[in-house]
Structure 1
Amino acid sequence: MSGGPAATTPSADDDRFVRRLVRRETTVSRSASVVVAMTVLLLVAVAVATAAVVVLLDQRIAGIDPRTTIDAAVRAPAGLVDAVVIATGAALAVLGLWFLLHGVLPARRPRHAVRSTRLGVVVDDEVLASAAARAARSATRLGPDATVGSVGRRTLDVVLLPASGVDVDAAAATAAVERELAAVEVAPPLTTRVRVRPTGRIDG
């Protein structure tokens, strides 16, 4: 009786491991942003600490007395210091907002996961777009350059470029693309959109 739960534990651990690997392959790492942010904060902290020590020791930095710089800023024309403070604050606010959005908003690689019960499979969006374009081309019997596919996070767009005066069956192309997607079961699911460019092409 005790063998039942123990037998299911490795399977659950494997599933979590596979999901972690798939998430790592489909999302962009934010390590670089964290390193940049921490480096900037460290440099600012070092600069402030150095200036404070120099003032306490009555020394100069590269021949410049920090207290002289502060006194000159205090004696600056009215409004100049306020403008500098506002400009600096706005720059810091923009930088902070960029780091915040970069850390909160999802950032994904141009890839989708393919559902599998045992393996973690990741497919590039270009491969999915090429397969969808090929399926639409086979259903409509268009030429190699007459279908263009593109993949977003939730949509798969296929554009048909028939020769001028040639009618194509967009419904058949849509059904073919949907069958192609159903065969691989990508995650997150994609919504198929097949369009026929009304201008057409002129084949020489």
Structure 2
Amino acid sequence: MSDITRGYGRIRRRETHASRSTSAVVVAIVLIAALAWLVVEIVLAAAGQQPLLLSPAGMVEGIAALGGVPVGWLWGAGAVLAVLGLVLLGLGLGRGRRPRHVLPNDRAVVVVDDEVIASALVRAAADADGIDPDRAVSSISRRTAVVRVTPTSGVPVQRDRIAEALGERLQQWGLAPSLRSRVQIQKAKVGA
């Protein structure tokens, strides 16, 4: 039985966390290609053959000639490299979580997308106060569900009733990680 629950844990993690393998593979391929090209150029230079693109001596001359390049070009290249470095750093250190939550179940792993949860909470809010579902919008973060209700002018909205219904629904589902609900009443719109 512990092997099954361990397997469920792996499935749960795989379905709720984003993989970074694609970006790692792309970076590895680019680095391997650059190093392979550099090795080929060095071997061709050692054998006295024509370079594919640039000989090692030409590379050294190019680096030495960077002092004559306009400063604007150097700043631009530095900015591009800095942005690329920040993107790679963000990919490596980012949260990597998918917008999903897990429903408790003894026999399987049930993963629910946050958009489905948001839609169900809008329906629960609409049913709790008798409002049109088109008058409510929900957004889900990792730990909080926010339902924004826009009442029709002249029709009061019972914030407490909606909040209680949302709390009961979230408690009934028992999502992991658990969600807290918040209700926001927007300014009333004229019309039905």
TM-score bucket (shorter structure): 0.7 to 0.9
**C-alpha separation in 2, matches of 1:185 and 1:33:** 34
Once the two structures are superposed, what CA deviation does each residue of 1:73-93 show, in whole Å capped at 9, x if it has no partner? 53x374539887776566445
1:163 aligns with 2:140: no
In the alignment, the residues of structure 2 paired with residue 72 and residue 20 of structure 1 have an alpha-carbon distance, to the nearest angstrom, of 51
Q: CA deviation at 1:66?
A: 4.6
- Identity rate, percent: 36
Q: Which amino acid aligns with 1:112?
A: H
Task: Tell me the residue number matched to 1:16.
Answer: 6
Structure 1 letter corresponding to 2:24: V
Q: Of 95, 103, 106, which residue of structure 2 is paired with 1:114?
A: 103
Task: State the Cα distance separating 1:147 from its structure 2 match.
Answer: 1.1
Q: Does 1:201 align with 2:155?
A: no
Name which of 149, 155, 159 aligns with 2:138. Answer: 149
Q: TM-score, normalised by structure 2?
A: 0.86
103, 113, 116: which one aligns with 1:127 = 116
Query: Deviation digits for residues 2-52 of structure 1, max 9, x if unmatched?
Result: xxxxxxxxx211111111111111111222112101101111111211221
Residue type matched to 1:193 in 2?
R
- For 1:96 and 1:53, locate their aligned partners in 2 and report how far apart those are by CA, in whole Å: 30
Per-residue deviation, 1:62? 4.7
Partners of 1:96 and 1:77 lie apart in 2 by 21
TM-score (norm 1): 0.82
RMSD: 2.6
What secondary structure, in the 3-state scheme, does the structure 2 residue paired with 1:109 have? coil
Q: Aligned AA for 1:165?
A: G
Query: Quick one: distance in 2 between partners of 1:19 and 1:89?
Result: 43
Return the alpha-carbon distance in structure 1 between the equivalents of residues 77 and 41 of structure 2: 19
Q: Which residue of 2 is the match for residue 185 of structure 1?
A: 174
Shift in Å at residue 53 of structure 1?
Answer: 1.3
SS for the counterpart of 1:59 is coil
The gaps in structure 2 that reach 5 residues or longer are: none
Which residue, out of 137, 140, 147, partners 2:129? Answer: 140
**In the TM superposition, what is the alpha-carbon distance from 1:116 to its structure 2 partner?**
2.2
* 8 Å Cα contact 1:155-1:191 kept in structure 2: yes
